[in-house]
Amino acid sequence: MDDVLAKVTESGRISLPAAHRKALGIETGGSVLVTLANGEIRIRPARRVMEALRADLAVFLRKADTSVDSLIDDRRAEARREGEDDA
C-alpha cells in the first residue's frame, strides 16, 4: 500500500485514507490502538490486537493444562478416590 501524506488538524485529528481503513477492516466508530514508539505512531485495529493477545495467551494455557475438561477429570478422579476410602 502506498504512503499517503495526511495533515493534522488544529484539534489533532488525522484522516485515515479509505483504502487503508478498508484494508485493515476499520469501520466508522471502530476502535484502534495508537502506540508511540521510537518516534513513530502506530495505529492498529483493536480487534487484531486482541486476536494476537488471545493467540499468545493460548500457548500458555495449553502448556498449563488449565482446560475445563482437565478440571472435570481431576474432580472425577478425586470423587473416585473418596469413594474408595469410604468403602
pLDDT digits (tens, 9 = 90+) for 71-81: 888 899 999 98
Residue 11 placed within a domain = no
Number of domains, the chain: 1
pLDDT digits (tens, 9 = 90+) for 25-43: 999 999 999 999 999 999 9
User: Global pTM?
Assistant: 0.59
Nearest CA to 19 out of 1, 39, 31 is that of 1
The domain in which residue 56 lies consists of 18-86
Alpha helices of the chain — where are they, by DSSP H? 18-24, 46-64, 68-86
Residue 1 placed within a domain = no
User: Distance between CA atoms of 29 and 18, rounded to whole angstroms?
Assistant: 14
Q: What percent of the chain shows pLDDT beyond 70?
A: 92
Other beta carbons within 10 angstroms of residue 26's beta carbon come to 20
Residue 30 placed within a domain = yes
C-alpha pair distances (Å), 39 with each of 12, 34, 36, 43, 56 = 17, 13, 7, 13, 26
